[in-house]
Structure 1
Amino acid sequence: MGESRDTRFEDCEFFATCPPGVEGLLADELRGLGVRKVRPLAGGAAFYGKPAVGLRVCLWSRLAGRVNVVVGRVDARDGEALYSGVRDLAWEDEIAVGASIAVRAHGTNDELRNTQFTALKVKDALCDRLVEARGSRPDVDAGRPDALIEVRLKGARATVSLDLSGRSLSRRSYLDASDGAEAPVAVAQAAALLAALDAAALLEKGWGLLDPAADDGILVCEAAAMLVDQAPGLVRDRWGFSGWARTDAEAWDDMLAEADNRLEAGLERVLGAERAAYAASDAPDQESVAVVGLSESSPAIARARQHLRAAGLRAVASVEAASGDAAAVERRLGAVVARAAGEGAALVVANAAPPSRDDDARAVAEQAACVAAARRAPAGSRFGFAGSGAFASRFGAAPEKRFALGVGRTEAVVEIFAVPPREPAVILVPNPAGGTELSVEVNDAGVAQFAARLRKVARERRKWAAREGVACYRLYDGDLPEYACAIDLYEGAAESEGILYAHVAEYAAPKSVDEALARARFEDVLAVVPAVLGIRPDHVFSKARVRARGGGQYRDAGGRSYVTHTSEDGLICEIDLGGYLDTGIFLDHRTTREMVGKMAAGKRFLNLFAYTGVATLHAAAGGASSTTTVDLSQTYLDWAARNMEANGFPAVLAAERDGRGAAGRRGGANRRPRHELVRADAVRWIQEARRERRQWDLIFVDPPTFSNSKAMGRRTWDVQRDHAELLIGVSRLLAKDGLAVFSCNLRAFKPDTEALVRAGVEIEDITASTIPHDFERNPRIHHCYLVRRAVSAEAGADA
């Protein structure tokens, strides 16, 4: 094959990746770095140049996620063609001697359907080529390879590349192990937003920058790095091009030296020579720094300052505690532009929280803070936000520039404005702590009617809850049609004692209601709730609630978990206010659970479709001799186990007990623990328990309205269609004089009494006595029945 040649000065084809929507900005950035032949493509930009060009992009690009160099394109119609094409590539000119490798494959076609097989074929071809060229195989290191080979299939062709980045360039050096997967996304969004504003040029002119929703300071770090001309990859400790044979080490050393000199010059320009020497550890002069972030969260401020410190930028940027005082914001804006070189303008920029997150009330508060700051910025300022796309309505004007950034759950909308926002609608809300009324900025002053209604009901409910010892309850349930949502209040318990939380579930607006109007109204609800109830915005959690078939299935909230505890009847209950649509405790069944607890003394208790096992908790506390808790979800069973453990009733999973998940085996009853958890499809499990002639004295049955869970196979569940068969099966598990409590949330539910009577099942409607006071406004919130076996059916019950 001949000797390896010096390839360091041959042209290469590169591809830099970026989030969707950023391709044009990335192409402009590459041209600004002196790169030629740049072509924006979906998901990135292709460019061409000497090997050193790729290294320069790795060091300086703020927008690229990864930089790959294309090794070749080969036939990939099947495994043999792929192997042959990859083996023909001159890997001895690409892989450095002694470098370890790994291969990562993406995509499939009719013949190559498994990415692991594809990667294996490429690895074998590469290694065989190097054995022939060099006489030895490279080591394979799947975790931390020196050279990572990327293979992307598109139809019958494969593009084979070498990843020069090593890991995402958005994983900046100031991030650490505690920064999760969301942090690089936030970096990419911040960098794109700043690029769309041409922030680097404006900061160089002397503009100040204020981030009124700084959170953990990522945008502030990115802006501060621009201010002092710090290369994003300057202190990065590991690169993918360390295993690339074409890497020009001399050129790379020159690039690092140039980047060091530019940073030193930037620090001196911003700080002066004396302070620049201490920039890495020096604290900022808060009255002189030109880049400032504000946050209401003390932990977020601490985290932001740590990021600035790790980036060596603590002396040139500041993250401070926010103040709702308009004059304080105006003073801060004046301070950040005080260093301006003639123009005296400011950038008001924020990577604001997107909608449909678990902390939407916090997002609304952040948006309001951004708009308030923009309103007080000096004339000629510019404003840019990445978030839900709601800023146009708040500004009252179309944005100068607007584009979507990213896809799916990471998508944000970038909006750029050159004019300040309109004056807002403001309502006054009585301060729950007393004193001066609170001013709340809203989209529509008509929300004052909602605020008055919520305040009136909250005052009555809090008195009732204190009198009855209720810690979590409903405050509002679509009382006003224009503000269609349910609002529940939770008092914290255990480690959260003394903390109040609100959970706001939005109902889907009718198709006749404009989507933008519905969103604006919900934003107003989220702005009003913390003020009226006296709850911190970050303790108000919101979800979108969309009814599906049967009225009982809802879209997954898709938020981040926020786990804490509340109490019911003195029992500690774990709740997740963010991760799921429902929190882990159905408040409308509070009275039913209390009834079950009182009935359970000395009884064998069975809980079917148990969810998080709160009914089991009541039964155990009520003195049940034993409990069996059945649910199809391991997540909910684990949750139930934690609830039981927290209250001194340790429960054992059936699979842990005997290695099986079934109802139990003959002769195994003596081995059963007092509190047993069973993962199973409750409908099928009932049949197995009947065959084994197991019996319980008290059974609680609260099935979903509809389910098509994958774990059920091809079968679906519909409570109206299937309840008779379910209750007949449940009745056969009842001991003599046993009783079942059946509840469901289908508002139009009607029991099939004829079928049940024919099967010897008696059913008694007790719904009215199970509706709690806080749900009396909607007496059809659920149905509840007592179920018994008829005396005449006792003898042949299992026939």
Structure 2
Amino acid sequence: MSKHVFFVTCPKGVEYLLVDELAGFGLVHLRNAPAGAWVEGELAAGYRACLWSRLANRVILQVADTGARNADELYDGVVALDWREHIPAKGSFRVTFLGQNEAIRNTQFGAQKVKDGIVDSIRGAGHPRPRVEPKQADVTVSARLNRGRLSLGIDLSGPSLHMRGYRTDKGIAPLKENLAAALLMRAGWPTIYADGGDLVDPMCGSGTLLIEAAMMALDMAPGRRRENFGFEHWPGHQPELWLELKQEAERRAYEGKQRRLPVIAGYDQDPRVIATAWKNIQRAGLEGLVHAEARPVADLEKLASMAENGLVLTNPPYGERLNERRELAGLYGELGQAVMAQFPGWRLGVFTGAPEFGKSLGIRSFKQYKLFNGKLPAQLLLFEVREENAMTPRDPEASGRVQPGIVNEERAGMLRNRLRKNLKTLGQWARKQNIGCFRLYDADMPEYSLAIDLYEGRVHVQEYAAPKSVDARAARERLAEALAVIPEVLEVDPADLVCKQRQRQAGTSQYEKREASGDYFPVHEHGCVLRVNLRDYLDTGLFLDHRPVRYWLQTHAAGKRFLNLFCYTGAATVHAAVGGASRSLSLDMSNTYVDWARENLALNGLDARKHVVEQADCLSWLADPKTRRQVFDLIFMDPPTFSNSARMKGVLDIQKDHGTMIRHAMERLASDGLLIFSNNFRRFRLDEDLAEEFEVEEVTGSTIDRDFQRNPRIHRCWHIRHRA
């Protein structure tokens, strides 16, 4: 049989598990992609992935790869293909489209061009026009645009493969079925049940983990009860082959029930949710094989019939979905106590978007896996339930929350006076400069090692981590005093004050989500509107120290082509565009910040066709010879000090890599253009050879505004030009 190439998608963070699973179906790994993998194999292996994959979302059969640098090239590539092989005569089709480039910025436009090409190809061959059905189509054509190439395929899946058909009723914030399967695999369930172990979920919700665990143990194909797949009306479909695979799945499901069945039990304190779990268990054909009952975590007990080894795996609430963070330490503590008492020798797995509460369990974790629950970063924490792994439980909320209160009135009075003085002088200056956000206080007094920033009526306080020589209790007392004084002097509601501890950040941790309040609000700077969020990240979405650089861009960007590398939330792009930049391209590796940047541009009424924001690894983009054709008059590059994100092909070390990045950026800079290079690494030294190749001028002094005069080393900045 002939070989085919398939693109198989999966939840983010599950790619490596997916590759191993697909290999078991006879599919050879070609390369990974974000949230998916390219593989090769026979059509039977693709069918097997649709039927048996516990991790995949979609299986897409590759049809062709064609140039798509612009709309005409895309259309020409599509119309040249013989679509009669893939669209049934008198049948219907639809197109899903992902990706964009400079010429094709809208997915609806891209999908329309693909549809036009398919229709014209079929009509040009003398056949009737096929119907386009946006929902219930016979065949779905998948089009994925990336770097000027269009990948075209047939979606063999139909509805996403995570939809097994057993879950029509859902509990609160349910796990998707394929994510539940990934958690079970990461937690070692296949090995545990093979060794005679059992499974318990103390907070089972609608029962997804229980059902997926049972289907694994019983060798039941996850797609066995699905009613339709995307390939069933595809002209290349081989019904006999598919029937053979389905019969094999039925035989294996029957044989699976003949061997030893693990005990699989789930509990939840909400009887309504347990009723939903029972319905899902029945629809999955697991009635009598999976147990669920209403019971709180504190009353968790090991059944007499359970083995000496097993897995406790659960997805407890973590504040994002239930807004109960203050109660979470108690809940996690109850879970840890119950598991230690009832399940010694077992393994515990906790999947949570608030991994800091893992410390409240009172057990040392031996492994952590970073995953995503939808778009929310989360972790799977694994523990071996043994006495030697016990530890004192800690409440991360209590340890991080300091109640306002004055211990030393004289000392607090000194802070009060300093804040009033700064507010008078800096407040007047900010109003005259048309600045809505500024730094009011930056560790002016050694007793109060804080940075205090004002954001138009709200306050962002960062406590610099005290050195080990400072008594922790004394540091907390002073912070408590500051939290009492700040709202009083600034006349703000304490609820509008956010306090964080600022420490040395590793990797991308400064950009990682800390909370999930969704509390975004607009602020103003030199006539621009920008969204900020004081709560959910270590930083707020606006680097206040770069304000002079942004204003310089605003006043010098008229008529210029602007490139913003490592764009973060796109504030620099907003200023350049408001200042009259003819077009701009902004790149960042984080989808969160790409979306944020687009929202900032939209807030200012800027044309998304002229001012494009794309998700990209800037290191790879700069190294790609294909991007050198793009020329810019003005480039701003403010990279992180270090990054080892999973999205990147390598590691970014600003000291080691800046010379190469600057040289690559200069290849895209017009002959009379300007590159503004900045970073905040305190020990940074600019590559001396750059001054031999280019005109290099350090301009740091002019980029430190009045509110940052106490901390002039907060960043460094250079202007770099081509030599005449």
TM range (shorter): 0.5 to 0.7
| 1:519-567 deviation digits (Å, cap 9, x = unpaired) | xxxxxxxxxxxxxxxxxxxxxx9969899979xx994989xxxxxxxxx
- Cα gap change, 1:101/1:335 in structure 2, threshold over 3 Å: closer, same or farther? same
Q: Is 2:199 the partner of 1:209?
A: yes
SS of 2:279's equivalent in the other structure is helix
Partner of residue 348, structure 1: 312
Cα shift at 1:38:
5.2
Partner of residue 86, structure 1: 78
| Equivalent residues in 2 for 1:296-307, closer than 5 Å | 296-307=269-280
Partner of residue 263, structure 1: 253
Q: Give 1:336's aligned amino acid.
A: M
Given that 1:52 and 1:248 are in contact with CA atoms closer than 8 Å, whether structure 2 keeps it comes out as no
Cα shift at 1:485:
11
Match of 1:400 among 366, 375, 379: 366
Distance of 1:38 and 1:95 partners within structure 2: 27
Distance of 1:544 and 1:119 partners within structure 2: 32
Distance of 2:28 and 2:600 partners within structure 1: 53
Q: Is 2:32 the partner of 1:55?
A: no
Given that 1:346 and 1:381 are in contact with CA atoms closer than 8 Å, whether structure 2 keeps it comes out as yes
Unaligned runs of at least 5 residues, structure 1: 1-8, 272-288, 338-343, 427-440, 451-477, 487-503, 517-540, 559-707, 715-799
> Taking every aligned residue pair, what percent have the same amino acid on both sides?
31
| Equivalent residues in 2 for 1:40-189, closer than 5 Å | 40-133=32-125, 135-176=127-168, 178-179=169-170, 183=174, 185-189=175-179
Given that 2:86 and 2:234 are in contact with CA atoms closer than 8 Å, whether structure 1 keeps it comes out as yes
Given that 1:212 and 1:348 are in contact with CA atoms closer than 8 Å, whether structure 2 keeps it comes out as yes
Given that 1:346 and 1:382 are in contact with CA atoms closer than 8 Å, whether structure 2 keeps it comes out as yes
Given that 2:269 and 2:297 are in contact with CA atoms closer than 8 Å, whether structure 1 keeps it comes out as no
Given that 1:270 and 1:316 are in contact with CA atoms closer than 8 Å, whether structure 2 keeps it comes out as no
- Cα gap change, 1:69/1:424 in structure 2, threshold over 3 Å: closer, same or farther? same
Match of 2:340 among 375, 398, 406: 375
Larger displacement relative to structure 2 (257-266 or 361-370)? 361-370
Alignment root-mean-square deviation, CA: 4.1
SS of 2:231's equivalent in the other structure is helix
Partner of residue 710, structure 2: none
Q: TM-score, normalised by structure 2?
A: 0.55
Match of 1:390 among 349, 356, 377: 356
SS of 2:77's equivalent in the other structure is helix
| Equivalent residues in 2 for 1:301-380, closer than 5 Å | 301-325=274-298, 329-332=300-303, 334-337=304-307, 344-361=308-325, 363-364=328-329, 366-376=331-341, 378-380=343-345
- Cα gap change, 1:142/1:85 in structure 2, threshold over 3 Å: closer, same or farther? same
Cα shift at 1:331:
3.0
Distance of 2:328 and 2:230 partners within structure 1: 37
Cα shift at 1:374:
3.3
Given that 2:210 and 2:266 are in contact with CA atoms closer than 8 Å, whether structure 1 keeps it comes out as yes
Distance of 2:482 and 2:117 partners within structure 1: 62
- Cα gap change, 1:209/1:709 in structure 2, threshold over 3 Å: closer, same or farther? same
- Cα gap change, 1:152/1:237 in structure 2, threshold over 3 Å: closer, same or farther? same
Q: TM-score, normalised by structure 1?
A: 0.50
Cα shift at 1:86:
1.0
Distance of 2:72 and 2:502 partners within structure 1: 58
SS of 1:53's equivalent in the other structure is helix
Distance of 1:43 and 1:162 partners within structure 2: 18
Partner of residue 233, structure 2: 243
Given that 1:100 and 1:243 are in contact with CA atoms closer than 8 Å, whether structure 2 keeps it comes out as no
Q: Is 2:376 the partner of 1:410?
A: yes
Partner of residue 760, structure 1: none
Distance of 2:179 and 2:57 partners within structure 1: 11
Given that 1:213 and 1:351 are in contact with CA atoms closer than 8 Å, whether structure 2 keeps it comes out as yes
Partner of residue 222, structure 1: 212
Cα shift at 1:157:
1.1
Cα shift at 1:396:
6.1
Cα shift at 1:55:
0.8
Given that 1:213 and 1:369 are in contact with CA atoms closer than 8 Å, whether structure 2 keeps it comes out as no
Distance of 1:110 and 1:219 partners within structure 2: 43
| Equivalent residues in 2 for 1:363-762, closer than 5 Å | 363-364=328-329, 366-376=331-341, 378-387=343-352, 388-390=354-356, 392-394=358-360, 399-406=365-372, 409-420=375-386, 422-423=389-390, 425=392, 442=395, 508-511=498-501, 555=533
- Cα gap change, 1:162/1:449 in structure 2, threshold over 3 Å: closer, same or farther? closer
SS of 1:33's equivalent in the other structure is coil
Q: Give 2:47's aligned amino acid.
A: L
Cα shift at 1:65:
1.1
Distance of 1:37 and 1:713 partners within structure 2: 45
- Cα gap change, 1:109/1:383 in structure 2, threshold over 3 Å: closer, same or farther? same
Cα shift at 1:47:
1.1
Distance of 1:515 and 1:298 partners within structure 2: 44
| 1:63-95 deviation digits (Å, cap 9, x = unpaired) | 111111111110112222111111222322233
Cα shift at 1:301:
1.0
| 1:110-164 deviation digits (Å, cap 9, x = unpaired) | 2222222221221121122223446222221111112111111112211111111
SS of 2:258's equivalent in the other structure is helix
Cα shift at 1:297:
0.9
Partner of residue 275, structure 1: none
Distance of 2:520 and 2:391 partners within structure 1: 30
- Cα gap change, 1:237/1:408 in structure 2, threshold over 3 Å: closer, same or farther? closer
Distance of 2:171 and 2:155 partners within structure 1: 22
SS of 1:128's equivalent in the other structure is helix
Given that 2:78 and 2:118 are in contact with CA atoms closer than 8 Å, whether structure 1 keeps it comes out as yes
Given that 1:75 and 1:156 are in contact with CA atoms closer than 8 Å, whether structure 2 keeps it comes out as yes
Q: Give 2:236's aligned amino acid.
A: R
- Cα gap change, 1:51/1:363 in structure 2, threshold over 3 Å: closer, same or farther? farther
| Equivalent residues in 2 for 1:283-294, closer than 5 Å | 290-294=263-267
SS of 2:132's equivalent in the other structure is coil
Unaligned runs of at least 5 residues, structure 2: 404-475, 485-493, 507-514, 525-530, 537-598, 606-724
Given that 1:505 and 1:545 are in contact with CA atoms closer than 8 Å, whether structure 2 keeps it comes out as no
Q: Give 2:255's aligned amino acid.
A: A
SS of 1:169's equivalent in the other structure is coil
Partner of residue 473, structure 1: none
Distance of 2:34 and 2:603 partners within structure 1: 40
- Cα gap change, 1:230/1:358 in structure 2, threshold over 3 Å: closer, same or farther? same
Distance of 1:483 and 1:419 partners within structure 2: 42
- Cα gap change, 1:301/1:408 in structure 2, threshold over 3 Å: closer, same or farther? closer
Q: Give 2:44's aligned amino acid.
A: A
- Cα gap change, 1:416/1:173 in structure 2, threshold over 3 Å: closer, same or farther? same
- Cα gap change, 1:380/1:509 in structure 2, threshold over 3 Å: closer, same or farther? same
Cα shift at 1:349:
0.5
Distance of 2:49 and 2:338 partners within structure 1: 35
Distance of 1:542 and 1:101 partners within structure 2: 39
- Cα gap change, 1:425/1:202 in structure 2, threshold over 3 Å: closer, same or farther? closer
Distance of 2:65 and 2:401 partners within structure 1: 64
Distance of 1:312 and 1:240 partners within structure 2: 24
